[in-house]
Amino acid sequence: MTEKNVWFVTGASRGMGVDIAKAALAAGHAVVATGRDTQPVARALGDAEHLLVARLDVTRPEDAEAAVAAAVQRFGRIDVLVNNAGTFYAGFFEELPPEDFRAQVETNLFGPVNVTRAVLPAMRARRSGLVVTISSMAGIAGQSFASAYAAAKFGVEGWMESLAPEVAPFGIRTMLVEPGFFRTDLLTEQSTKYPEPSIDDYAENTRATVDAWKSMNGQQGGDPAKLADALVQLAGRREPPARFAAGTDALHAFETKAKALLTQADADRSLSSSLWPCAIRWA
Whether residue 149 lies in the annotated active site: yes
Going from the C-alpha of 240 to that of each of 204, 223, 246, the distances in angstroms are: 45, 21, 14
Q: Which of 22, 89, 147, 149 is catalytic?
A: 149
Q: Which of 135, 136, 194, 202 is catalytic?
A: 135
User: Which are the contacts of 55, defined by CB distance < 8 A and separation ≥ 6?
Assistant: 34, 35, 36, 37, 38, 63, 66, 67
Whether residue 198 lies in the annotated active site: no
Whether residue 153 lies in the annotated active site: yes
**Residues making up the chain, counted from first to last:** 283
Answer yes or no: are the C-beta atoms of 77 and 133 closer than 8 Å: no
C-beta pairs of 193-197 under 8 Å, 24+ apart in sequence: 193/87, 193/88, 193/89, 193/90, 193/100, 194/90, 194/91, 195/90, 195/91, 195/92, 195/95, 195/96, 195/97, 195/100, 196/95, 197/95
Scanning 88-170, the segments in alpha helix (DSSP H) are 98-105, 111-126, 147-167
Catalytic residues: 135, 149, 153
